Structure 1
Amino acid sequence: MASAGAGLSKRGASNVDAIMPGIRAALLERTRPTVPRIDLSTAENWLLRNEVIELTKDAIRDGLKPHHLSYPNEFAGDADLIKALAAFVNEYFHPHIPVEPDHIATAPGAATCLNTFLYNLCEPGEGILVPAPFWNGFDWLFTARSSAVPVMVHVERSADTLTAKLIPALEKAYEESKIPIRGLLLTNPQNPYGQCYPRSVMEDCIRFCHSKGIHYISDEVYALSNFENPELPDAPPFVSALQIDVKGIGCDLSRVHTFWSTSKDFGSSGFRVGCSITQANEAMHVALALASNTESSSLSAVASTALLTSPRLPELLQLNAQRLQEAYCLMTNFLKKHQIEYIPANSAPFLFARVAPQAQTWEDEKAVIAQLKEAGVNVSGGKAYHVNEDQKGWARLTFALETSRAEEAIKRMETVLGKQ
């Protein structure tokens, strides 16, 4: 054990031993004398960076005041940021019940918000249902602090996770679980598929949670990353959990919680600004605020407040949708050229493609991922997203890069995928 003799707690030692091999491998990769790799494995949007930089530079120059050198001036975070978040969510998420500032708690990113929520919801070893495939980061996010357990929910066909067939799969996973289940986490838009759940499925999921007395947790970090895609003419639009009349469908609003951040929709992961929204559970709101009210940077608060309140915001969102569509077409034209199967997306900076169609084992998938890495492109293999056993060979590809970098990535991928 890497942590043996280090004097760590059992919890700390477990975390270190689980993650240390990956860290060592990553550090080794960084020291190899190779051509710098293009990263298509990290879900970041590079398409608005110039505009966001311009806007936030002005904000820091003009908006930074002496009081920003102190701790946040509100219990749940910076008052101006929370007020801006409430107005922003009311404008773009169309909540059934208007979001008030005292519904919101901020933290350094949505992952931290969710981590704090799980810590306050779950006893160590308790579970959260998570429909598969799902973001591979949940594996460490659940366990590192809260010691919660992601309980995978598989439907017979992976693509059906976005349909009503999810509900019987939830029932089955709940009944067969060997550990207590405390909630259901739905990422909407879905990661790694980049599509949205229909409202009817969301309502059924909330009803399911109500019937079991568990919490509905809505991860909405890609809420505004939608774009037009002719491949999906009948795709359901994004519907926030906030938009649903929870009481109207006979359910308990105190068990519905929403999470969002500026990281994905505004391509600003480094700002580390996220929020949790819980509208009818004061105790949970206080618990979330207590854990993170002094953790967010005032500089990030100033920059994000300026972004959320900018008169240019509608223009930026429209520009983002246009550029996402163009970047998506560039990537999918390459995939079509080489007859590489992919799942059409319209609500994320990435898509899911079968880069190793001949893969019979997970080692086969891993080998193609390694070949792409050797060619200078990092992609994220499907196994990490807990796809079904019959879905070997898939990978998530981020396409929201500057055109020159995307074209270079495609050129490099062609040396591997063009030979299959």
Structure 2
Amino acid sequence: MTRNVSTRIAGGLQGILPRLADASPPKGPSHDTIDLSSAENILIRDQLQDMCKAAIQNHLNSDTLSELPSFGGDVGARTALASFLNNYFRPASTVSADHIVLTAGAGLCIEALIHSICDEGDSVIIPGPHWFGFQPYITLRPKVNIITATPPTYARHGDDLVSTLRATYNDAETPERIKAMILCNPHNPFSQCYTEQGLRECMKFCQEFGLHLISDELYALATIKTTENQRSEFISTLSLMSNASDAETLIDPSLVHVVWSASKLLGLSGLRIGCVVSQSNPEIRAAVSLLTYLNVSSLSAITLTAILSSPDLSQLLYVNSQRITASYACFTKLFRGLNVEFLPAQEGLFIFAKLGKSIMSIEEEIAFFENLRQRGVLVSAGRFYSGLSTEFGWARVLIAVPLATAEEAVKRLSLCIS
């Protein structure tokens, strides 16, 4: 039999293709599809489109069309990113442009870091549920294994973080080959933030076993303003690095690396620009630079620089938060009215909800989501996030859509949830 792809890529496709098929639009003329399965934030596209156009018009020159000479990426973009992080992420030590390496999107940040930290056959541990898109960036080119630390329940995943990590580490076949942990904070798909205590314990855990901590902070500042109990505000790992009030060092700072991009908060996925922030590990920065060298477009760099340097940035983030909050309220009103279980969101673009309230099997779940598809609503099935194998009917529902779209989606969902 002829093999169309390599063995290396076949393994990755085996995990990804079913997810792509699940997210494909329904066939037939029954409905215009509302896609709530993606991770696209379109709430401030109107303002951003004008800002992007102005950035190109005002800053494009002949030098922009040349290769970027600087190691680590465009200096202007890195300087703007440093200022942004210092203003909004409250780092314990000031972030400088030299601490930052640009990459063509956050996915390549993850891949370059894993490639730099791990040898082939090593493993990384990721608290579950987690974004299934991690798989190709970790398992294909770096050829590193993913070990999922699955919590006992969804509702207490944050409280059980360190105990789950420790149990998973101890149960691993070769724990000595676990070299890093990836923490998504705010969480995808839960849109919740880890507490300061939880983050501190996580950092101590990584220090104990000499693990690199990769903190994926893409969804930071997409704040959902509610009065629900047990809310935790976003706390960046950068802010806990060297607090003078600590009686002990939480973690060797050379083990900590933060990933951020403009794709989620600002909805600029098409720019393909992300960054690694590693304040105390120049070797990692050099390695990431080599692995991603010249991958970021000059046009993306000058556009992001203009947006992050704009005096209107704080107002833009405020509008973004207001619109996410309005959409969130629309969905949660439906869920409460129909007694649909969901995790209260705090920061991010989604709600994780048990849309199939009485579903007890994978077959019932597949049929339920197919019915949603036929009604013209796409959501991202919870089974694709390496979550609890005993839970069915959960879905990640995108809420970063205009209020009118949210209202129409709610109408369609109400016809399917009983």
TM-score relative to the length of structure 2:
0.94
Could you say which residue in structure 2 is the equivalent of 1:169? Answer: 164
Q: Report the CA distance between 1:162 and its aligned residue.
A: 0.8
Other-structure match for 1:197 = 194
Return closer, same or farther for 1:390/1:287 CA change in 2, 3 Å cut-off.
same
Contact 1:69–1:298 (8 Å) recurs in 2: yes
Aligned residue number for residue 60 of structure 1: 56
In structure 2, what is the Cα distance between the partners aligned to 1:342 and 1:17? 30
Q: Which structure: greater helix fraction?
A: 1
Tell me which residue corresponds to 1:109: 105
- Residues in 2 aligned to 1:35 and 1:87: alpha-carbon distance in whole angstroms: 45
Deviation at 1:340, TM superposition (A): 1.4
The answer for the alignment partner of 1:352 in structure 2 is 352
**Mapped partners of 2:15, 2:150: distance in 1:** 24
Q: CA deviation at 1:146?
A: 1.4
1:87-126 deviation per Cα after TM superposition (whole angstroms, max 9, x unaligned): 1111110100111111111111111111111111122222
Residues in 2 aligned to 1:185 and 1:114: alpha-carbon distance in whole angstroms: 9
SS in 1 for 2:157: helix
| SS across alignment from 1:190 | coil
Distance 1:319 1:333, change over 3 A: same
Find the counterpart in structure 2 of residue 323 from structure 1: 323
CA distance in 1, matches of 2:339, 2:21: 36
Asked if residue 157 in structure 1 is aligned to residue 153 in structure 2, the reply is yes
The CA deviation at 1:414 is: 2.0
Give the superposition deviation at 1:405: 1.8
Match of 1:97 in 2: 93
Instruction: Write the distance in 2 (CA, Å) between the matches of 1:160 and 1:124.
Output: 34
Provide the residue aligned with 2:374 in structure 1.
374
Relative to 1, partners in 2 of residues 1:79 and 1:397: Cα closer, same or farther, differing over 3 Å?
same
C-alpha distance after superposition, 1:277-305 (max 9, x if no partner):
01111111000011112111111111111
Distance in 2 of aligned mates of 1:220 and 1:347: 11
Amino acid at match of 1:89: L
Say if 1:23 and 1:356 are closer, same or farther in 2 by CA, change over 3 A: closer
Letter in 1 for 2:254: S
Quote the offset at 1:18 in angstroms.
4.8
Alignment of 1:342 onto 2:339: no
Please give the root-mean-square deviation of Cα atoms over the aligned residues, in Å.
1.9
Task: Identify the residue that residue 49 of structure 1 maps to in structure 2.
Answer: 45
Q: Determine whether 1:139 maps to 2:167.
A: no
Counterpart residue number, 2:218: 221
Distance verdict in 2 for CA 1:189–1:56, change over 3 Å: same
Q: What is the letter of the counterpart of residue 148 of structure 1?
A: V
Conservation of the 8 A alpha-carbon contact between 1:132 and 1:158: no
Are the structure 2 counterparts of residues 147 and 173 from structure 1 closer, same or farther at C-alpha, using a change threshold of 3 Å?
Answer: same
- Indicate the residue corresponding to 1:362 in structure 2: 362
What is the distance in 1 between the residues matched to 2:333 and 2:163? 37
Partner of 2:179: 182
Greater shift, 42-51 or 120-129, is seen at: 120-129
Secondary structure of the equivalent of 1:216? strand
1:207 aligns with 2:204: yes
Q: CA deviation at 1:13?
A: 4.1
Judge conservation of contact 1:262–1:274 (CA < 8 Å) in 2.
yes
> How far apart are residue 314 of structure 1 and its match?
0.8
**Residue 184 of structure 2 contacts residue 215 of structure 2 at CA under 8 Å; is this kept in 1?**
yes
Q: Shift of the alpha carbon at 1:133? A: 1.2
Where do residues 170-319 of structure 1 align in structure 2 (5 Å cutoff)? 170-179=165-174, 180-232=177-229, 234-246=230-242, 248=246, 249-250=248-249, 251-319=251-319
What is the alpha-carbon distance in structure 1 between the residues aligned to residue 40 and residue 69 of structure 2?
Answer: 31
Q: Residues of 2 paired with 1:360 and 1:173: CA distance? A: 27
Q: What SS is found at the alignment partner of 1:258?
A: strand
Unaligned runs of 5+ in 2: none
What letter corresponds to residue 166 of structure 2 in structure 1? E
> Partner letter of residue 162 of structure 2?
I
**Letter paired with 2:63:** H
Aligned counterparts of 2:391 and 2:95: Cα–Cα separation in 1: 40
**Cα deviation 1:295-334 (Å, max 9, x = unaligned):** 1111111111111000100111111111111111111112
Which one-letter code corresponds to 1:187 in the other structure?
C
Given that residues 23 and 380 in structure 2 are in contact (C-alpha distance below 8 angstroms), is that contact kept between their aligned partners in structure 1? no
**Residues 26 and 339 from structure 1, CA distance in 2 versus in 1: closer, same or farther, beyond 3 angstroms?**
closer
Identity of paired residues, percent?
A: 34
Q: Is the 8 A contact 1:224 1:265 kept in 2?
A: yes
Contact between 2:72 and 2:102, CA under 8 Å: does it hold in 1?
Answer: yes
The corresponding residue for 2:333 is 333
Cα distance, 1:23–1:399 mapped onto 2, change above 3 Å: closer
Distance 1:303 1:204 in 2: 38
Contact 2:109–2:275 (CA under 8 A) maintained in structure 1: yes
How many Å separate the matches in 2 of 1:146 and 1:31? 37
Deviation of 1:415 (Å):
2.1
CA contact under 8 A between 2:323 and 2:403: conserved in structure 1? no
User: How far apart in 2 are the matches of 1:147 and 1:36?
Assistant: 40
Aligned-residue offset at 1:344: 0.8
Match of 2:401 in 1: 401
| Residues 73 and 79, structure 1, Cα contact 8 Å, conserved in 2 | no
Tell me how far apart the structure 2 counterparts of residues 21 and 219 of structure 1 sit (CA, whole Å). 25
Q: TM-score, normalised by structure 1?
A: 0.93
Give the distance between the partners of 1:394 and 1:120, measured in 2 at CA. Answer: 35
* Letter of the structure 2 residue corresponding to residue 341 of structure 1: E
Displacement after TM superposition at 1:25 (Å)? 7.1
**Separation (CA, whole Å) in 2 of partners of 1:331 and 1:23:** 25
